[in-house]
């Protein structure tokens, strides 16, 4: 922190450290995991699933490859998962249960 530029230190002080519920895990106790997400944890987790499962760890994919994967493989995967859940062959969607 001490080595960071003064403007960055001022930004942290004014926008983050004075509003502890915004960043403190203590303020997020007794809440369901899908309520009021204040971090990018879900995005990072989804990015990991996308890269490891659907893109097989490939780096620097072309945009058209990514769009093709999203509209074919990913969409088909989640459609099949939904059908399995509806048929009772797979556990329920935790996100839907939370709502």
For the stretch 40-62, pLDDT in tens is 777 888 889 999 999 988 887 78
pTM, 2 dp: 0.52
CB 32 within 8 A of CB 98: yes
What local confidence, expressed as pLDDT, does residue 57 receive? 86
CB 86 within 8 A of CB 79: no
Report how far residue 11's alpha carbon sits from residue 8's, in angstroms, rounded to the nearest whole number. 5
Q: Parse the chain into domains and list their residue ranges.
A: 31-98
pLDDT at 23 over 60: yes
**32 — alpha (psi -120 to 50), left (phi > 0) or beta?**
beta
Mean pLDDT over 59-86 rounds to: 89
Q: Which residues contact 57 (CB under 8 A, 6 or more apart)?
A: 51
């Amino acid at each position: 922190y001490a080595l960071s530029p003064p403007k960055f230190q001022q930004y942290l002080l004014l926008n983050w450290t004075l509003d502890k519920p915004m960043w403190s895990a203590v303020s997020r106790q007794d809440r369901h995991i899908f309520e009021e997400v204040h971090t990018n944890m879900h995005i990072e987790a989804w990015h990991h699933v996308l890269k490891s499962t659907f893109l097989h760890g490939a780096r620097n994919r072309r945009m058209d490859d990514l769009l093709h994967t999203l509209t074919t493989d990913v969409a088909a995967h989640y459609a099949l998962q939904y059908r399995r859940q509806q048929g009772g062959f797979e556990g329920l969607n935790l996100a839907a249960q939370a709502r």
